[in-house]
Amino acid sequence: MSGLWGVIGGTGLSQLEGLQLTGESRPQTPWGEPSAPLVHGELAGQPVCFLARHGHPHTIPPHRVNYRANLWALREAGVSRVVAVNAVGGIHADLPTGRFCVPDQLIDYTWGRPSTFYEDGLDEVVHVDFAEPYDASVRAELLRAAAAQGISCRDGGVYAATQGPRLETAAEIRRLERDGADVVGMTGMPEAGLARELGLAYACLALVVNPAAGKSTEVITMAAIEGVVRAGMQQVRDLLQAVLASAD
């Protein structure tokens, strides 16, 4: 698959170091403004479009992100393949803090978020196939790049998307685990579903930044999370460069 790559940066990735900047744009969309300007440039010799999901600086909470404007703006900029970077909590025992995961499934526990482009003025009701929520080819590129970089990355897993912005209770995490979830985050939906509606090849690169609630005796603090994020995001940049360097 060919086409312009887009990168959506989550917590800790509000700008993409190493990007040779060629311009910025802040397009108006039918759904309002995206979270931040689209940053256009080259990484590893390939054109790429970067968007900070939570704004730059990081000020937009997960339930207030304008996911529709973000995805629409990327599509209008010519993006066809999207890597979404997400900071997550680890639920499964083989996903400790600092490890990466490229999920292959998700469960949506969010509510009240605008989650479709197909609401008003329709000629007919539209349903998109979402049985496999992540694009297999983009997932494969991420996994190949992680292996080439020697980055520990789990192939597959279930992403549980919760409402936030508060962290989950231990009982909620036990419920998610019974449901089959491996990691938990707050921004996986409706982003993935909207990408599917627009025909974008979308995959998630998740960095485990803390044990989910009840999975450790330690109190979850933002200071501890930020330390993991700082170390992990350098690996994210290395991995993205490897993906783009081998892209067709």
pLDDT tens figures, 106-160 = 999 999 999 999 988 888 889 999 999 999 999 999 999 999 999 999 999 999 9
pLDDT band at 18 (very low <50, low <70, confident <90, very high): low
187 labelled binding-site residue:
yes
pLDDT of residue 121: 85
186 labelled binding-site residue:
yes
Lowest-confidence range among 72-86, 94-108, 112-126, 210-224?
210-224
53 labelled binding-site residue:
yes
201: nearest Cα among 115, 107, 74: 74
162 labelled binding-site residue:
no
Residue 14 has pLDDT above 60, yes or no: no
pLDDT tens, 47-59?
899 999 988 777 8
For residues 201 and 121, give the distance between their C-alpha atoms in angstroms, rounded to a whole number: 26
The interaxial angle of helices 136-149 and 222-245, nearest 10 deg, is 100
Token pair 């080439």 is found at 148
210 labelled binding-site residue:
yes
What domains does the chain contain, in order, with CATH numbers? 4-245 (3.40.50.1580)
Lowest-confidence range among 69-73, 87-91, 201-205, 214-218?
214-218
C-beta of residue 85 within 8 angstroms of C-beta of residue 7: yes
For residues 246 and 248, give the distance between their C-alpha atoms in angstroms, rounded to a whole number: 7
pLDDT of residue 225: 75
68 labelled binding-site residue:
no
63 labelled binding-site residue:
no
